[in-house]
Amino acid sequence: MANDPGIDPRLIRRLGGGELAELRQRMRQHFERHGRTPEKSGFHLTKLSAVEYEALALLIGLPPRSTQSVRIDIARFDAALQHAGMANSLHEALEMLDGPIVNRAEAKAELQSRWSSVTDGQGLHPSLQAWLQGASAVGLLKRVSKQETQTAHLLLQQAHVVLLRLPAQGLTRAQLAAEVLGNAHALDTGQAVASVVLAVLQHGASTDEQEQPPSEEATEEADGARRPNERVRDIWARSGVLVNELARPALFLNLPVRTPSNTLAAPGEPGYLSLRRLVRTPPDWDVADQIIYVCENPNIVSIAADQLGAACAPLVCTDGMPAAAQRVLLKKLSDAGAKLLYHGDFDWAGIHIANNVMKLCDARSWRFGAEDYLQAVKSLAPKERDLEVVRIAASWDFALVESMRLKGVAIAEEAVVSQLVGDLRHPL
């Protein structure tokens, strides 16, 4: 074939014409899939136009006939191109005409190898190594690095040096970012390295390996309930890093401390503790073996202060789902030996909040079980069912959810405040 004088070099040049662009693309696809492996010595082309078949017939000596299918012998094609002095091979000619041909299998294997070297965790902080073993860690890393392995490697190194500084003692997030990464905004919410660090911190504190980046938005769980994700500042606060340290302070009443001069508020008057105070200069709690009552709604604190004043038992309010200050306060009280009792709204959101509080500080129920709910229903004026079908298991009383489902009535905490105030006057 290489010595065939009948092949006109001008016919070879037709291969580069615009009317044969689709034909070239189909031939490129063969090399993209298979490379130049010897075992793939040929391939079929189908659905050829008359122009494409004519060009191939003239190039490699096919008989003139009406057909849309041709088997290409790569060796014959290579010989024709060499004879015309155009290229050493079909592969080379296609690259000259339309750019490099990438072997997809080789490229995929090479990319996998590069990602494996990035995510093997060698030499990284132990919590970062543990996170990388999770199912969704690599996916998050690829997303925040925009699929660039070099960027991903840099992000892991940055996360590593941040984690080496934790836990901190009341360090602001901006200061941590400036000292460790040289940019005060490098750990702001939405920054790539912040997403990695937060995912690692969340993974380390979670029993079910919640590896998605935290959010301020509500998400729908498998059981259908709408519930807030853990907030960014709560995750940072667990490691002693302050974000918006004066936002949403924790409401309390009559919390005892060891030193009278450090009294947090006037006896009988509600007070607030900021995240800044709790992390930087925490009070010296005098709560060992004492009962601390915990409620969900600020109105309970207000009513207790009005009716009992200084005679009220120690009381803390989560103000709905506890944020960073509330979580830190409850955890510090628990660590100081307090026995926490919790009450909230008898609705699905209230059950979800209670599950979080019970788990956070090993709290027990305060008139918040199935029997308490049924007694409350009897004491209220008749009302229409207002609980949705959605159910959330109550970790402290499995019968509670079934009772709520049967009655179908939500009960606000304020509706049973008289009983709660009675307990606060005479602790259980």
Residue where the block lists tokens 């001008």: 10
137-171 pLDDT, tens digit each = 888 998 999 988 889 889 999 999 999 999 988 88
45-67 pLDDT, tens digit each = 777 788 777 777 776 667 777 77
Return d(Cα 257, Cα 29) in angstroms, integer: 76
279-309 pLDDT, tens digit each = 888 899 999 999 999 999 999 999 999 999 9
Q: How far is CA 254 from the centre of its chain?
A: 38
Q: How far is CA 387 from the centre of its chain?
A: 30
Residue where the block lists tokens 């200061």: 175
Residue 276 pLDDT:
86
Q: Helix, strand, or coil here: 413?
A: helix
**Per-residue confidence band for 317, with pLDDT thresholds at 50, 70 and 90:** very high
**Residue with the larger pLDDT of the pair 37 and 273:** 273
Q: Helix, strand, or coil here: 286?
A: coil
Return d(Cα 405, Cα 415) in angstroms, integer: 19
Give whole-number Cα distances, 374 to 143, 253, 297, 323, 423, in Å.
49, 29, 21, 30, 18
Token digits of residue 2? 């290489």
Taking alpha carbons only, the member of 407, 402, 423 closest to residue 314 is: 423
pLDDT value at 123 more than 80: yes
Bridge-partner residues for 44, per DSSP? 71
Taking alpha carbons only, the member of 327, 360, 346 closest to residue 401 is: 346
Q: Which of 24-33, 173-182, 204-213, 396-405 has the lowest mean pLDDT?
A: 204-213
Token digits of residue 87? 């290229």
Rounded-to-10 torsion of CA 46, 52, 55, 56: -10
